[in-house]
Homo-oligomer: A and B are copies of this chain.
Amino acid sequence: MEVQTSQNTADKIKAVSLSLFARKGFEGTSLAEIASRVGIKKPSLYAHFKNKEDIFLAVIDKVMADYIAYFETVANKLVNRQAEEKLFILLKENTDYLRDEELGLIWKRMMLFPHETLKEKLKEKFLASEEKMTGTILAILKELKEDGIIQENTEEVLDAYYCLMDGTFEQVFYYPEIEHKRRLQHSWQVFWKGIKR
């Protein structure tokens, strides 16, 4: 296994494209600008990718894979923690990860305004990661219920938790980090009081 000391051209194209697609969207990004930032000429892009859509898909694949890999590391952080902590860490780590501006932006764009021709492909990938998340949350809730810490209505708690997650996710983009942290803390406190026995 070779150690990669510097990015090859294809990786550079993906990195540059991620940044541009995130900030300007698919239509708003031109191949000319991608090539220029990579430091090559436009036609050279076609030596690495079939066309513009192909570049976009490669970027998305990487984003998804990275996110799922990240989620695994978070899941590992949860072992040996109190159930209450687990629930909070899951929430916090998720927003921290997506706060990385470009990553969060392209993730958001994908989910909210999927490119028409890629809608199906995106939805499929997205659902897979959502299932994992729900499984992890449900396991924590079960633990909390068995210990008699929270109320019995799992569906209510799950719905409220996802709403909390979506709300904090959305707010990552509006507010500076310090303000967002306060909002997250407050929202979490109210949520926790709301689900306790």
Contacts and interface: CB of A to CB of B under 8 A. Distances in A.
Given A163-B171, A170-B167, A156 B195 contact: no
A195 to B, nearest CB: 6
A76 to B, nearest CB: 27
Contacts of A187: 159-160, 163-164
A88 interface: no
Nearest to A130: B174
A157 B28 contact: no
A192 interface: yes
A127 B97 CA distance: 27
Contacts of A174: 111
Q: How large is the interface on A (under 10, 10 to 19, 20 to 34, 35 or more residues)?
A: 35 or more
A193 interface: yes
Contact of A191 (B26, B157, B160): B160
A187 B173 CA distance: 22
Among A157, A160, A184, max chain B CB count under 10 A is at A160
A112 interface: yes
Contacts of A108: 112
A192 B193 CA distance: 10
Contact of A167 (B111, B116, B164, B173): B164
Contact of A163 (B116, B183, B192): B183
A66 interface: no
A3 interface: no
14 contacts: A25-B25, A25-B27, A27-B28, A113-B113, A156-B190, A160-B186, A162-B171, A163-B183, A163-B186, A166-B171, A167-B167, A167-B168, A191-B194, A192-B194
